[in-house]
Structure 1
Amino acid sequence: MRYGILGTTQAHTDDGRPVAVGGARLRALLAALALHPGRGHASGTLIDLVWADEPPADAPGALQALVARLRRALGAGAVESVAGGYRLNARPDDVDLHRFQRLADEGERSLADGDPVKAAALLDDALALWRGPALSDLPGHEALVARLDARHLGARRVRLAAAVALGDPAGALPELAELCADHPLDEPLQALRLRALRAAGRPAEALAAYEDVRTALADRLGTDPGPELRALHAELLGGGGAGPC
């Protein structure tokens, strides 16, 4: 069985057939279990995650009934009882969140090792797993969701860097422009855009983009661009406009 929590909570058989999970409580329970597949979750923790501030009068009994419904939906062996709670009988790679993290890590390492072709393939597979806001059926995880969103943005940035390294800076620029507009203070992202503009033979636009970033950092944070952006700016001023990235 495969599980998806990068968006609405889903379950699929190994051959890709969707499994009807059920209502909001069942989806929340499955999402909570899938956060740490193969690991036991205390009943009290699951109750807090599924019902938040409005637990039923007989919360342990309600959780037991919910687990029974989830087993009927997924199969009797999908959710196992452990001391004091339950666990999802699955491997990390059976859950899209953990598969995304593995693929994204491998893609980043491949690019760092000088293999943009492999990096692009791995990151395409990772990014294809995202179907919407992570953990959308499991409220109360704002800090985790923010970290996952940042990880998603990082994977997109590395995929675009792979595109630039593969000789397609022009193809990467539309998405880079959109991401930079949404994240004007993200210096690594802004630096990648400058490199892509330079590689695409558009140094004047790269210089203008640097000024935009410099102004945004000064106005919002009261700081100057960091060393990477300053070095790129110096290269552009020194005539390195069409050099390699």
Structure 2
Amino acid sequence: MALDYRILGPLEIARDQEPVAVSAPKERTLLLQLLLYANEHVSVDRLATAIWEEQPPRSAGKLLQLYVSNLRKALGHEAIATAVGAYRIDVEVPELDSLRFLALLDEGRSARARGHIRVAADALRRASALWRGTEVADGGAGGEAARLEELRLECAEERLTLLVELGAHDEALPELAALCAEHPLRERPQVQLMLALYRSGRQAEALEVFREARRTLDEQLGLEPGEELRSLERAILRQDPELTPPAPAHSTLPLPIPRTQLIGRERERTELRALVQRDDVRLLSLVGAGGSGKTRLALAVAADASELFADGVALAELSAVREPAFVTPAVASALGVTERPGEPLVRTIAQAIADRKVLLVLDNFEQVVEAGPFLLELLGAAPRLTLVVTSRRVLHLSGEQVFTVQPLPAEDAVALFLARAQADNATRALPPEDLSDIGEICRRLDGLPLAIELAAARARLLTPRQLLER
């Protein structure tokens, strides 16, 4: 079974989400060195220097063999390969957080080069989130550890630069201020902090950042600020129109706020959240009988996953739509896209969301399944779009992931009935025989949430036994 190695912070190893203990300091140092240079041969001399610094013992080679043997016992015999005068760990990108970080950093920079600013910002956000501190595991020293730590700073700077560029200067301000305080000699975050402050209407503070940066550079390095800082100061002083924040991008409509608490469905919510995080799941269909709670579950999943989607979550409500041609305007409205004269609305939507990371819920799709090709067109135009569709039947579209929404288990069904029946009087106690009758009501209603809620609404006038007799 694959191991999960984490070195961007304290060294951690897990197998199937269960921790794998490697506690001996020298063995941890050895493992860290192999992971820093994953998929490469690491010489015995380099490993000995990392463990014992400049004074390895004469028995270093045999001790390394012992440490490797102990690591193999913990990780598996195949985890560490032996070569002539060297050792090696072979890992795939998903198995090592530093490789995932480098892949996301490269993805973000590539997206930036193509002009996909939001896609780039999201990739860099995910890359930064992999760090569980500011240093490589166990204070790892050496060239590769230092390189990763420098790349962490570059990733943070580039991500914050993109946030300011996107007009999210208020969001970027706290982290920019902290980054400048931690690294006062790095000019790039100083530039972005000045710009973010100016765009927030805090011109005097922006100019004070410049003065403090100039003072620090002079005192510590005997240097003047670079041209970028000086040019920005001049632009702020003359209130250059070029510094005006960009117009806000299309915004999605907010999700409706449920009037009641969702009862049960913890397992489904966990599984669905995991599915929408997967890069290979972009069309997720929640399929179930009418009244099974598909809509409520989809909205809960969208709310649960909202922080995973940089450009928001949206709902296209299709219950009143009967013609497939009207699905496109409903989607445009949900995504905040306005029709342009003389341009097909499908193209307008595709252009608007091409670089946006959005989760779109399409509710009650079973009555417009002929619009399925439109969904595929959207997915093809927007590589960061994820669709969650509720339907009474499978759509049979390419790439569709089907999740069957089952009736509520007996315990959750009873809890739902009680919650709705006692909505007007939460302190009202029910005798034990009523609980038995409620269980039978829920069983006869096949555990369907909508039917249970309708029955519970009548419980304010009728006892559970009277409901059963009807």
Q: TM-score, normalised by structure 1?
A: 0.87
Contact 1:25 1:50 in 2 (8 A): yes
After superposition, what is the alpha-carbon deviation per residue over 1:109-151, rounded to whole angstroms, capped at 9, x for unaligned?
A: 323433232122212221122123534436552x554443322
Identify which of structures 1 and 2 has the higher relative contact order when contacts are C-alpha pairs closer than 8 Å and 6+ apart. Answer: 1
How far apart are 1:72 and its partner, in Å?
Answer: 0.7
Q: Which is worse superposed, 60-69 or 44-53?
A: 44-53
* Corresponding residue for residue 401 of structure 2: none
Q: Counterpart amino acid of 2:213?
A: V
Preserved CA contact (<8 Å) 2:170 2:196 = yes
Per-residue CA distance 1:146-182 (angstroms, 9 max, x = gap): 4433221111111212222332211211111121122
CA deviation after TM superposition for structure 1 residue 92, in Å: 5.0
Contact 1:32 1:138 in 2 (8 A): no
Asked if 1 retains the 8 angstrom alpha-carbon contact of 2:32 and 2:137, the reply is no
Using the size of structure 2 for normalisation, the TM-score is 0.48
SS of 2:82's equivalent? strand
Contact 1:24–1:137 (CA under 8 A) maintained in structure 2: no
CA distance in 2, matches of 1:44, 1:219: 42
Q: How does 1:4-15 map to 2 (within 5 A)?
A: 4-13=6-15, 15=16
Is contact 2:37–2:144 with CA below 8 Å preserved after alignment? no
Matched, 1:2 2:1: no
Most deviating of 190-199 and 51-60: 51-60
- Cross-structure match for 1:120: 121
Report how many residues are paired.
Answer: 243
Structure-to-structure mapping, 1:190-229, within 5 angstroms? 190-229=190-229
Matched, 1:82 2:83: yes
In structure 1, give the amino acid aligned to 2:190.
Q
Question: What RMSD, in angstroms, separates the aligned Cα atoms of the two structures?
Answer: 2.3
- Would you tell me which structure has more helix in proportion to its own residues? 1
Distance (whole Å) between structure 2 residues aligned to residue 204 and residue 133 of structure 1: 31
AA aligned opposite 1:207:
L
> Cα offset for 1:54?
4.8
Indicate how the Cα distance of structure 1 residues 12 and 176 shifts in structure 2: closer, same or farther if over 3 A, else same.
Answer: same
Contact 2:9 2:133 in 1 (8 A): yes
The unaligned stretches of length 5 or more in structure 2 are 247-470
The answer for the alignment partner of 1:35 in structure 2 is 36
Alpha carbons of structure 1 residues 207 and 149: separation in structure 2 relative to 1, 3 Å: same
- State which drifts further: 117-126 or 84-93: 84-93
Paired position in structure 2 for 1:26: 27
Partners of 2:77 and 2:187 in 1: CA distance: 49
Alignment gaps of 5+ in structure 1: none
In 1, Cα distance between the equivalents of 2:204 and 2:62? 67
- CA 1:212/1:11 → structure 2, altered by over 3 Å: closer, same or farther? same
Report if aligned partners of 1:37, 1:91 keep a CA contact under 8 Å in 2. Answer: no
Structure 1 residue matching 2:148: 3-state secondary structure: helix
1:230, CA displacement in angstroms?
1.7
Flag the 1:139–1:102 CA change in 2: closer, same or farther, 3 A.
Answer: closer
Aligned ranges for residues 82-231 of structure 1 at < 5 Å? 82-91=83-92, 94-137=95-138, 140-141=141-142, 144-231=144-231
Post-superposition offset of 1:93 = 5.1
State the Cα distance separating 1:208 from its structure 2 match: 2.3
Take 1:137 and 1:219, find their aligned partners in 2: how far apart are those partners? Answer: 33
Q: Which has the larger radius of gyration?
A: 2
Distance change in 2, residues 1:56/1:144 (3 Å): same
One-letter identity of the residue aligned with 2:168: D
